Structure 1
Amino acid sequence: MAYIEIKHLTKDYKKERGIFDISLEIEKGEVYGFVGINGAGKTTTIRHLMGFIKPDEGSVTIKGLDATKSSAEVKRYVSYIPGEINFPGNTSGEEFLKEQIYLSGRGSWNRAKELSELFQLDISANVHAMSKGMKQKTAIVSALASDADILIMDEPTTGLDPLMRDIFIDLLKEEQEKGKTIFMSSHIFQEVEEICDRVAVIQKGKIIEIVDIKKIRYNENKVYRMEFKSEADFKRFIGLGYQISKVKMEDLQVFVEIHDEQINELIQTLKDFDLVYFKEIKAHFEDYIAQVFKEEK
């Protein structure tokens, strides 16, 4: 059984709103991304994982426990960062963090202090007076300091500046090395590509694609961009029969799609041509997703 298992999960809010027949399996130690536009169903799915919502159909299990029926027990293993942060009470950040560590029965105040310093978080501030970014940092510190086996996060980097986002990604990599299981939604494709093992794409409440990020990072099908010094060489190369995805006539540039096994052949061929440059165009998750959404229209 998968560490986190979602089976045929459905919550129908009518008028095509909700989630429909979602099935996902997240393995222990995996970092699993969840992407889609606003309103696609990411938060609804995550709230089912936390046991906040009862499904119309289907089920969610975490470590073999039903997320709805055994919600309190599931939370013994899970730290959660909500998409909309609204802290209870009227306490300082320090008091809130200490209370969360006490209530969860896990983690360390020393670790919370280390993380607060790392995120430049003023824990003396009242939680209600904090800016959106400060609240986000507080939620992150609380989740990471609790040392849970599973992290479930809904858009965790919202409100963070690029430097803080980089720090957060590095911390997630450390959590992954410790064997933690992470499920996170995000609208920032770069961070998903950098940290995740697999990514599910949701659109209009349905899973339309599950992507193995390794296949994008280490894609065997490459694209090379080359520019020729002369129009004669440019035209001669085009006539050789390589798979050309794009031509920029005014710049004498050609984009060639080619499999790894054919690259040596291409290099040998190009020895007979005078090139300005020859460069691989790296594939990115964002480009892949743009194509997926285009095909779904």
Structure 2
Amino acid sequence: MSETAIEVSGLTKDYGGGRGVFGLSFAVQPGEAFGILGPNGAGKTTTIRQLMGFVRSDSGSARIFGQDCFAGAARVQSQVGYLPGELALMDDMTGAAFIRLMAGLRGQKDLSYAWQLCQRFGLDVSQKIRKMSKGTKQKVGLVCALMHRPRLLVLDEPTSGLDPLMQNQLWEILLAEKQRGVTILLSSHIFEEVERLCDRAALLRGGRIAAVEQLGELRAKASRVYQLRFAGEQEAAAFAAAWPDAAAKGDWVQLRLSQGEPVARLLAMAAQSGVQDLKTRQESLEDMFLRMYGGRNE
């Protein structure tokens, strides 16, 4: 049986005032892509900093490939490709010089894959870092995280500052790394990103884990969302009152049907009530998480 890639048990870091993380427990298996989802301030970066050994936890434990993340930080970091949420680069260096510096610190001599990544990201490494845009600096950070082909990638908000074309390029690279057997831990507040790559995800709220879900199983349970427009607010309100869990807003009504629920009854009732327009879509992962674990105000 292979060792667990990441094992977190009861991890707590309390900064006071409700800030920090509290009693986190989860495990990530080798070759798995695992997402940490949550709004800004939920504790995603605090969790990652403890995993990287930058912060000592108040209680609990965190281990990567069996090594304590704080006591064995140097050994852990040598096996990880890490992209921080806030990059700290050396402004007076060019991109190429910084990449060479990071490779030298790891003892990496072959930079052929680094230059391949630069080409894929369209990164001009001759430019001074201080003159780079946020997105260009993000590309430098990604090259440094990926170039030594690590066993584990820990990425904190990896698409920050990237345009849609570069985001797609990054997903292609990460999916290829996943197929190669690399373990990936991805932090994001964007559900679509996690859904695209990850096998499982933990939903973090207020520094605590609200749920850990298999994304494939969640997708299979997705409902269908229907939006119906009526002649006026009164007609919409009357229809919503007659249908379980329907919500009216102005002359529109929104409701969802679980898989297997008959659509014919809904359409028949809508026609009798004078429906003017109908839209439908598959429930998103974000919809499901908020319905199951979040409040309306979220």
TM-score (norm 1): 0.82
Aligned partner letter, 2:294: F
Q: Distance in 1 between matches of 2:250 and 2:129?
A: 59
Task: Give the counterpart letter for 2:172 in structure 1.
Answer: D
1:117 and 1:68 map into 2 onto residues whose CA distance is 35
Contact 2:202 2:211 in 1 (8 A): yes
Contact between 1:216 and 1:284, CA under 8 Å: does it hold in 2? no
The residue aligned with 1:283 is 283
**Equivalences for residues 209-248 of structure 1 within 5 A:** 209-219=211-221, 221-223=223-225, 245=246
- Match of residue 205 from structure 1: 207
Q: In the alignment, is residue 91 of structure 1 matched against residue 84 of structure 2?
A: no
Are the equivalent residues in 1 in contact too, given 2:11–2:23 (CA < 8 A)? yes
Q: Kindly state the Cα deviation for residue 279 of structure 1 after the two structures are TM-superposed.
A: 7.1
1:72 corresponds to which of 71, 74, 77: 74
Give, as a single letter, the amino acid of the residue that structure 2 aligns with 1:156: P
Give the Cα separation in 1 of the matches to 2:297 and 2:4.
Answer: 29
- Checking the alignment, whether the CA contact within 8 Å between 2:63 and 2:69 is kept in structure 1 is yes
**Counterpart in the other structure of 1:151:** 153
1:293 matched to 2:297: no
Contact 2:229–2:251 under 8 Å retained in 1:
no
Q: Secondary structure at the match of 1:75?
A: helix
- Confirm or deny: 8 A CA contact 2:42 2:204 kept in the other structure: yes
Contact 2:45–2:156 under 8 Å retained in 1: yes
The structure-2 alpha-carbon separation of the partners of 1:260 and 1:146, relative to structure 1 and needing over 3 Å to count, comes to same
Q: Is the 8 A contact 1:216 1:283 kept in 2?
A: no
* Aligned twin of 2:180: 178
Cα distance between partner residues in 1 of 2:192 and 2:42? 19
- Partner AA of 2:97 in structure 1: E
Is the alpha carbon distance of 1:225 and 1:39 closer, same or farther for their aligned partners in structure 2, counting shifts above 3 Å? closer
- The equivalent of 1:232 in structure 2 is none
**Compared CA separation, residues 269 and 69, structure 1 to 2 (3 A):** closer
Gaps of 5+ in 2: 231-238
Residue deviations 1:22-66 (CA, integer Å, cap 9, x gap): 111111111111122222211111000000011110110000010
Partner of 2:47: 45
Give the conservation status (yes or no) of the 8 Å contact 2:223–2:283. Answer: no
The answer to whether the 8 A contact 2:229-2:276 is kept is yes
Amino acid at match of 2:195: E
- Name the Cα RMSD after superposition: 3.2
In 1, distance between residues paired with 2:222 and 2:154?
A: 32
SS of 1:61's equivalent? strand
Q: Shift of the alpha carbon at 1:185?
A: 0.9
Q: CA deviation at 1:89?
A: 7.0
Structure 2 Cα separation of the partners of residues 294 and 287 of structure 1: 11
| 104-113 vs 219-228, which moves further | 219-228
